Amino acid sequence: MQNIKFTPLGGLGEVGKNLLLFEINSRVYLIDAGIKFSNDPEIDIILPDLDYLEKIKDKIFGIFITHGHEDHVGALSKLAFLNVPIYSPPLAKEIIRKKIYRDQAHQLKEIVVNKKFQFEDFNISWFPVVHSIPDSCGLIIQTKNLNIIHTGDFRFDKNPVYGKNTNFRSILEKINNKCDVLLSDSTNALVESESFSEKEIEKTFAKAFKENRKIIVCTFASQISRIQMAINVAKKLNKKIVLMGSTLRKNLKITKNLNIIYDFEKVITSNNKNGDDFIYFVTGSQGEDFSVLNRLSTKNYNNLEINKNDLILMSSSVIPGNEEKVFGVIHRLQGLGAEIRFNNFDNKLHVSGHSNKSELSDVIKVLKPKYFIPIHGNNDMLNAHKKIAISQDVEKNNIFVLENGDNLIINSTKAKKIPPEKIIDEVVLRDNPSYSNQIDSNIYEHNIISIIINSREVLEKKDINIKIFDKSNNINVKQSIEDFILKNNLNNNSEGWSEITKQFNNKIYKLILEKFNKKYVIKSIFIEK
């Protein structure tokens, strides 16, 4: 009997760094390979466990990409050592091409939507879904005995800017009305409110663009549909659009070459001068340090400045965890006299790229999966999705809320968890972090230590996996830290992990200062697994 094994290395219990291992007959394939952004100023990005992938690289035969967002493709440049084909929809392929190293380019393989690709033990096809970036797809994986559907990130829209509405009924027909395993996006499993069509945003643009003042639209660089809708409006109003920032211009070039975006030549300009006839598109919706919006808020952007009465349209949502950074930028912009408009009932500026609670329920109702695995979400989202599945009569014992590192074995008759893999996230430190002016910045240029510890292992007093990232590469320092952690009790009593972390960092700082007479910045992360 043919067994399938699923092992998530990221994307479960969190929002970001999606990577799922799919194994059949000792051959492993990756579904997506993303990153997660960190709120820690010293950590640029967080990656799935690359060491684990290195250990099993001889078993890995390919990577399947659902769409071009960073949380799904951002880690690919770190996976050159796998040297396996990367199968991807056209837009994601070109986005990936700009990220990876030249000697990886031969790995890129463009898929044709709705066409089956035959592998040794299964076939796979990509089906189109509506999401917040064009060319988004879900996956149908068919083995000898199992039909598996992976939704990717998706939403429903009766009038999408690109393509057709997501249609799971037609997908079900392709697998003879038999869905054995469903892996489904859980991002909005807690959201009750109804969404609206992306096209509604165009109406908001039309109203705002008529105002006689400088207008700035802030959105994600991947929100190609927002640029298209702005083009549609600007053309009617005889206005010009300026894309501020290299990523926006890069994405425009890619979508132009793929014939995704149209009529751009009539309104897109490289002219950066101020004026009411110009609509400025900028990035920085998450408060990113070097984004155009952040630089505008600090008067540190030469090509554009904020003046009193300027209008800024926030055509985006705030990713949980980024609130402090985003509203810091917003407050600075308001201090310069700008009016900020957010998405609300009167100003429809953003719609989520993910389906809400009732829509997720409808998907399960249509597909009627035997086994259900909620993916892409934190624990609350995953468990909410589980409840949705139970309400649609999926057998409770056939629903698996997994954690990163878990192993799930499925065949035609049963599914069960087996002992998990020992995995731990990788971190990438910033090359030039920004620190407090009160402390000599030279201290931090080379003396930064990040310590990653699995909090569950600490609580359960298991063998503790410790990852230490030290820019000074001092072996003795690393060994001293490791010895300290293993010898000391780090149990979380009533204080909570934030207090534990603070005390721990202080102890490590004193230890290194006393033993080596060196000042280090200590950053510890207790990952709950």
Which pLDDT tens digit goes with each residue over 311-362? 999 999 887 667 788 889 999 999 999 999 998 888 899 999 999 999 999 9
d(CA 253, CA 231): 15
Lowest mean pLDDT, pick from 272-281, 359-368, 395-404, 442-451 = 442-451
Cα–Cα distances (Å) from 164 to 31, 160, 519, in that order, read: 24, 6, 58
Q: Count the Cβ atoms, other than its own, within 10 Å of residue 100.
A: 18
| Residue 493 clears pLDDT 70, i.e. is over it | no
Lowest mean pLDDT, pick from 148-157, 231-240, 461-470 = 461-470
d(CA 154, CA 433): 35
3-class secondary-structure state, position 37:
strand
pLDDT score recorded for residue 435: 32
Residue whose pair of structure tokens reads 């293993």 in the numeric block: 486
Q: Count the Cβ atoms, other than its own, within 10 Å of residue 207.
A: 12
pLDDT digits (tens, 9 = 90+) for 142-160: 999 999 999 999 999 999 9
Q: What is the DSSP letter of 319?
A: P
pLDDT score recorded for residue 41: 63
Mean pLDDT across the chain, nearest whole number?
A: 87
Q: What is the DSSP letter of 394?
A: -
Q: Among residues of the chain, what percentage have pLDDT more than 70? A: 88
pLDDT score recorded for residue 302: 83
Q: What is the DSSP letter of 189?
A: T
Provide mean pLDDT across the span 396-409: 97
Dump the DSSP string for 403-469: -TT-EEEE-SS-EEEEPPP----EEEE-SS----TTS-THHHHH-EEEEEEEHHHHHTT-PPPEEEE
Provide mean pLDDT across the span 411-415: 93
pLDDT digits (tens, 9 = 90+) for 180-207: 999 999 999 999 988 899 999 999 999 9
Provide mean pLDDT across the span 103-114: 92
Beta bridge partners of 428: 45
d(CA 452, CA 448): 13
pLDDT score recorded for residue 321: 67
Residue with the larger pLDDT of the pair 101 and 404: 404
Residue ranges of alpha helices (H) inside 56-156 are: 70-73, 90-99
Residue with the larger pLDDT of the pair 313 and 246: 313
| Residue 433 clears pLDDT 80, i.e. is over it | no
Calculate helix-pair angle for 246-257, 90-99, nearest 10 degrees: 140
**Which secondary-structure segment (H or E) carries 182?**
strand 181-185
pLDDT band at 133 (very low <50, low <70, confident <90, very high): very high
**Which secondary-structure segment (H or E) carries 124?**
strand 123-128
CB of 76 closer than 8 Å to CB of 62: no
pLDDT score recorded for residue 102: 79
pLDDT band at 296 (very low <50, low <70, confident <90, very high): very high
Report the alpha-carbon angle 121-126-127, nearest 5: 135
pLDDT digits (tens, 9 = 90+) for 25-43: 999 999 999 999 876 666 7
pLDDT score recorded for residue 507: 85
Nearest-Å Rg of the Cα atoms of the chain is 24
CB of 132 closer than 8 Å to CB of 120: no
d(CA 26, CA 422): 19
Ranges 287-291, 433-437, 460-464, most confident: 287-291
Tokens of 472: 């000074």
pLDDT score recorded for residue 431: 45
pLDDT score recorded for residue 271: 60
pLDDT band at 466 (very low <50, low <70, confident <90, very high): confident
pLDDT band at 432 (very low <50, low <70, confident <90, very high): very low
Contacts of 404 (CB under 8 A, 6+ apart): 8, 9, 10, 11, 12, 13, 14, 48, 423, 529
Beta bridge partners of 418: 407
Dihedral pair phi/psi, residue 518, rounded to 5°:
-135, 140
Looking at the whole model, is its pTM more than 0.95? no
pLDDT band at 481 (very low <50, low <70, confident <90, very high): confident
Which domains, ranges and CATH numbers included, belong to the chain? Answer: 4-192+352-418 (3.60.15.10), 199-341 (3.40.50.10710), 435-527 (3.10.20)
Provide mean pLDDT across the span 118-141: 97
Residue whose pair of structure tokens reads 């954690």 in the numeric block: 403
Amino acid present at 296: L
Ranges 48-52, 152-156, 485-489, most confident: 152-156
CB-count exposure of residue 366 (10 Å: 0-12, 13-18, 19+): middle
Contacts of 220 (CB under 8 A, 6+ apart): 132, 283, 285, 316
| Residue 480 clears pLDDT 90, i.e. is over it | no
pLDDT band at 484 (very low <50, low <70, confident <90, very high): confident
Calculate helix-pair angle for 224-237, 246-257, nearest 10 degrees: 90
CB of 93 closer than 8 Å to CB of 108: yes
pLDDT score recorded for residue 441: 38
| Residue 387 clears pLDDT 60, i.e. is over it | yes
| Residue 448 clears pLDDT 80, i.e. is over it | no
Residue whose pair of structure tokens reads 């920085």 in the numeric block: 284
| Residue 492 clears pLDDT 70, i.e. is over it | no
CB-count exposure of residue 311 (10 Å: 0-12, 13-18, 19+): middle
| Residue 511 clears pLDDT 60, i.e. is over it | yes
